[in-house]
Amino acid sequence: MNTATRKIPRRKKNRIGLWSVYLVLALIYIWAFAGMGVPEIKPTAGQISKAIFNGLFHPDWSFVSEPGGEDLLHGLLDTLAIAVLGTFISALLCIPFSFWAARNMSKGHTLSGTGKFSLSFIRTFPELVMAIMFIKAVGPGSFAGVLALGLHSIGMLGKLFSEEIENMDLGPAEALLATGANRFQILWFAVLPQVIPGFLSYTLYRFEINVRSATILGVIGAGGIGTPLIFALTSRNWNRVGIILLGIIVMVTLIDLISGYLRKKII
Amino acid sequence: MIQAQKKGVPQPPSKIKGYLTAILVLLLLWGSSVNTESSLSEFIIGFPNMLDLLTQMIPPNWSYFDKITGAMLETIRMAVIGTTFGAIISIPVALFSASNIVQNSWIFYPARFILNLIRTVPDLLLASIFVAIFGLGALPGILALTVFSIGLIAKLTYESIESIDPGPLEAMISVGANKIQLIVFGIIPQIQAHFISYVLYTFEINVRAAAVLGLVGAGGIGLFYNKTLGFLEYDKASSIIVYTLVVVLIIDYISTKLREKLL
């Protein structure tokens, strides 16, 4: 039993690197909290949150279906319609983008690089700002929401689609090329059959996201359930806020369940 | 001979299912377009309006950048603080939702249900509710981002906790470790890289979300969208958009590099 055997080998750690990470983090937090100042909480905050909770547990059931048509079910249906159409438009429009951005379809690294960049540019453009711009073009209403979702979703769908294309098996395409197929035939018989399940699954996934987004488009006047919600919030009609929130939660959960089931079946 | 060949070829699967699905999808699209009053002609009529808007947006008003820098920094601060609080709160939530730590299904199913519930409410709705409670300012925005982050980080984390290697845990149980020791020495070392990566990912999303929270009055640069678009100052609005894009792209780049290094 000499001392050498008892020595536990110490793991070499990059101490300086670790401490500099901590230092940077600390600086970021000092900067963040120092800039915020002490939050002022309104004295009515407790009262209002109580009222909201009260409204959540005593929702205004009469709002679910009203003869005038400005009710919850119509709002939710409108929201769904915006999401369906927006997703469909973006699923069609993003296909050329995805082939452009896929490394194995575009010629050269720079070309696919520009495709990828334009997709990330579209992704970072907030959909609400897009909706504001479309409202200027087609007027307030659901159609502006459809266009905003359709354009914004291209960013994410195009990226996912292009990754799907990059991950496909090139064997069938080569085999077709060897038998003398032209580019269109290769695309139709070798590429599409491989990527369509993935495309459908991503489209459904994006549909789930779009349903959520469509619920907030109404905040700026682009249709859907958001408009009555904002009215109810500003007029402090908490029971109505409660029923709308419940409606949104139920709808989103149902859509997630259905879409999840379909996605499992597709892949 | 011919019959034998025919027998060898299997019947192609019935196409009725495909046709039915196609009809269903078409009906869905038709119904949706009727419901939203979408029409291509309206879009084409409105298109010049949009081009007009775009020409007013270009070039951006570069001198406006000085004025909105403060709000931009506030946006990043909101995202930093919201993500941090969300990450801290989501640690216990994730532990309670993981079925290999809490074996009692009366605990982890309700925890997951609450997480699902949180994730169904979009962040802008949360923000507008918090604005109603706390008034205008950054605080409702931070709270909305916190709640939103809990939903995302806790879900991703509990899923990665459930997929960890059970070997070290079994070894520790067999030598008599308690729950706390199990978590500190068995689970945390296995998931910490993933956890940090999820936090960074959520931070990226939160920066984008924080940039529009101001539209409902929850602080950050979004407030300036209302101001400039309300006064029809589109060159200023486009400078806000460009600024946001640049900041978001830089943060995304840094965060992606960090995440690549972590995993």
- Cβ separation of B133 and A48 shorter than 8 Å? yes
- Cβ separation of B36 and A121 shorter than 8 Å? no
pLDDT value of position A211: 92
Q: What is the mean pLDDT of residues A250-262?
A: 91
List, as own/partner pairs, every contact residues A231-235 make where C-beta atoms lie below 8 angstroms and the sequence separation is at least 24, other chains included: A233/B128, A233/B129, A233/B132
pLDDT value of position A152: 92
Mutate to test the interface with B, among A80, A219, A230 (most CBs of B within 10 A): A219
The minimum CA-CA distance between B2 and chain A, rounded to whole Å, is: 28
- Cβ separation of A82 and B135 shorter than 8 Å? no
Mutate to test the interface with B, among A18, A220, A231 (most CBs of B within 10 A): A220
pLDDT per position as a tens digit, B195-238:
999 999 999 999 989 988 888 888 888 888 878 877 778 888 88
pLDDT per position as a tens digit, A28-82:
888 888 877 777 777 777 888 888 888 878 887 887 777 766 788 888 988 999 9
Query: Would you call B205 an interface residue with chain A, using a CB distance cutoff of 8 Å?
Result: no
pLDDT value of position A4: 56
DSSP per residue over chain A, as a string? --HHHHPPPPPP--HHHHHHHHHHHHHHHHHHHHHH-PPP--TTHHHHHHHHHHHHHS--GGGSS-TTS-SHHHHHHHHHHHHHHHHHHHHHHHHHHHHHH-TTTSSSHHHHHHHHHHHHHHHHS-HHHHHHHHHHHH-SSHHHHHHHHHHHHHHHHHHHHHHHHHTS-SHHHHHHHHTT--HHHHIIIIIHHHHHHHHHHHHHHHHHHHHHHHHHHGGGTSSSTHHHHHHHHHTT-HHHHHHHHHHHHHHHHHHHHHHHHHHHHH-
Residue B162's alpha-carbon distances to A250, B92, B215, in angstroms, are: 27, 14, 38
Phi, psi angle pair for B58, to nearest 5°: -105, 130
pLDDT value of position A11: 65
pLDDT value of position B16: 84
- Cβ separation of B36 and A82 shorter than 8 Å? yes
* ipTM, 2 dp: 0.80
Tally A–B CB contacts below 8 A.
147
Q: What percent of chain A has pLDDT over 90?
A: 21
**Boundaries of every domain in chain A:** 61-266
CATH architecture under which domain A61-266 falls: Orthogonal Bundle (1.10)
Mean of the per-residue pLDDT values for chain A? 85
Reported confidence tier of residue A143, pLDDT bands at 50, 70, 90 = confident
Interface of B with A in 29-48 (CB under 8 A): 29, 31-33, 35-39, 42-43, 46-47
Q: From the CA atom positions of chain B, what is the Rg in Å?
A: 26
Tally Cβ neighbours within 10 Å of residue B116. 15
Minimum CA–CA partner of B48 in chain A: A137
Counts for chain B of helices (H) and strands (E), in that order: 12, 0
The minimum CA-CA distance between A1 and chain B, rounded to whole Å, is: 26
- Cβ separation of B125 and A41 shorter than 8 Å? no
pLDDT per position as a tens digit, A165-187:
888 888 888 899 899 888 888 88
Give A2 or B144, the one with higher predicted confidence: B144
Domains of chain B from N-terminus onward = 68-262 (1.10.3720.10)
d(CA B39, CA B46): 11
Q: A59: which 2 tokens?
A: 């929702």
pLDDT per position as a tens digit, A199-222:
999 999 999 999 998 998 888 888
- Cβ separation of B120 and A248 shorter than 8 Å? yes
pLDDT value of position A205: 92
pLDDT value of position A153: 93
- Cβ separation of B50 and A133 shorter than 8 Å? yes
- Cβ separation of B120 and A252 shorter than 8 Å? yes
pLDDT value of position A10: 67
Residue A209's alpha-carbon distances to A83, B121, B178, in angstroms, are: 9, 11, 41
Contact A114, B19 (CB under 8 A): no
d(CA A262, CA A201): 8
pLDDT value of position A207: 93
Q: What is the mean pLDDT of residues A16-21?
A: 83
pLDDT value of position A13: 63
pLDDT at A155 over 70: yes
Q: Which residues of chain B have pLDDT under 70?
A: 1-7
